[in-house]
Amino acid sequence: MTRVYRYVVPYVIILATINFHTHIRAVSSVVALGANLLCSRVPSLTPRQRRICTRAPDAMVALSEGSSTGLRECRHQFRHQRWNCSLAGSGTFSHVVLVGSREAAYVYAVTSAGVAYSVTAACARGNISTCGCDDRKRGRYSASGWKWGGCSADINYGIKLARKFMDAREVEGDARALMNLHNNNAGRRAVRSTLSTECKCHGVSGSCTMKTCWKTLPPFTNIGKLLLQKYKKAKPVIVHKSRRRSPPYLKLRRTKRRVRRPGKSHLVYLQKSPNYCEMNPSTGSLGTVARRCNRTSRGADGCDLLCCGRGYNTQQYTRKWQCNCKFYWCCYVQCHTCQEDTEEYTCK
């Protein structure tokens, strides 16, 4: 049963975070002193993760916030789908077992991306003592004549720490571990590929005689969207065990003869996804019973698709809200109450 537990780890980290934050705040001035104690109290860290925690306790907040950022984005991107990333927050872990499906691939990629992102952002804010801005190009000029300045995001540091911390969960060395490691890496690469260059002009009254530029992180949702594209094009893989001494690795399932490895930025999966229509704890499907659907939509959130053809219930209710608010001098606000009869549809 260690298996089941391991897939659950991203969510466990989040719960642990709550504890962690309270500890952090309480002991912020004695972090170094209390690191051992602190890190031993965060449940469900692997021994390697615990060592990272002890060495860089000030990075732990960013690390755990990163995985919640990733999961929040997952819920957002999948809010209209049968599988809505509804794995965290229920407090019970019995149903969060995801098989090695493309959904699991997305979860791993987006949480790893979240961690790399959040560490990089925390470095730039000065919240982690061992990193800051990427100053390697600072002061140099680009081919088109502008100068590197400001605070460039130190994505290399973010990626390195995210790799150390997130990959430290994969201790089994089996097919699923290879899959998770691949998707973790794809997630981190997605962060790097979305970095953009931001510039500022200097010079008399807005003339751009002098321009300084720096690398900056985009809003995280851009990364969530990019990974959603990769999720749609995820590649099925199997483990290739070579007869020579090299360790097993993943290869694309749909190739005729030649052994081809998946691209490093592609998401990969080992198993076909369930249809997520019915509840099935062994695949990580909660089913769509009682999910809200849209009667007129032909998309995935429409009642036909979302309810898997089982039909839907209609509830009438009266929606009330404050409207026509007026401000009276001085000082109160008066509003009317507006109401409207509406219907809500939920899957049978």
Ligand X SMILES: *[C@@H]1O[C@H](CO)[C@@H](O)[C@H](O)[C@H]1NC(C)=O
Q: Which residues bind to ligand X, rule: CB under 6 A?
A: 61, 75, 84, 86, 125-127, 286-288, 291, 294, 296-297
DSSP 337: E
| Least distance in angstroms from the C-beta of 276 to ligand X | 8
| Least distance in angstroms from the C-beta of 115 to ligand X | 13
b (16+ CB within 10 A) / e for 241-270: eeeeeeeeebbbeeeeeeeebbeebbbbbb
- Collapse the DSSP code of 201 into the 3-class scheme (helix H, G, I; strand E, B; otherwise coil) and give the result: strand
> Which candidate, 77, 71, 65, 150, places its Cα nearest to that of 116?
65
| Least distance in angstroms from the C-beta of 21 to ligand X | 9
User: Considering beta carbons, is residue 84 or 101 the nearer one to ligand X?
Assistant: 84
Cα 12 from Cα 2, distance rounded (Å): 14
User: Considering beta carbons, is residue 236 or 302 the nearer one to ligand X?
Assistant: 302
| Least distance in angstroms from the C-beta of 172 to ligand X | 29
User: Considering beta carbons, is residue 41 or 75 the nearer one to ligand X?
Assistant: 75
| Least distance in angstroms from the C-beta of 28 to ligand X | 9
Which residue has 């998401």 as its token pair?
A: 267
User: Considering beta carbons, is residue 144 or 296 the nearer one to ligand X?
Assistant: 296
Alpha-carbon torsion 186, 188, 194, 195, what sign? negative
User: Considering beta carbons, is residue 270 or 307 the nearer one to ligand X?
Assistant: 307
Q: How far apart are the first and last CA of the chain?
A: 33
| Least distance in angstroms from the C-beta of 348 to ligand X | 13
CB under 8 Å to 177, separation ≥6 — which residues? 170, 171
Q: Are 101 and 83 in contact (CB under 8 A)?
A: no
| Least distance in angstroms from the C-beta of 192 to ligand X | 22
User: Considering beta carbons, is residue 95 or 266 the nearer one to ligand X?
Assistant: 95
User: Considering beta carbons, is residue 78 or 148 the nearer one to ligand X?
Assistant: 78
Cα 72 from Cα 10, distance rounded (Å): 12
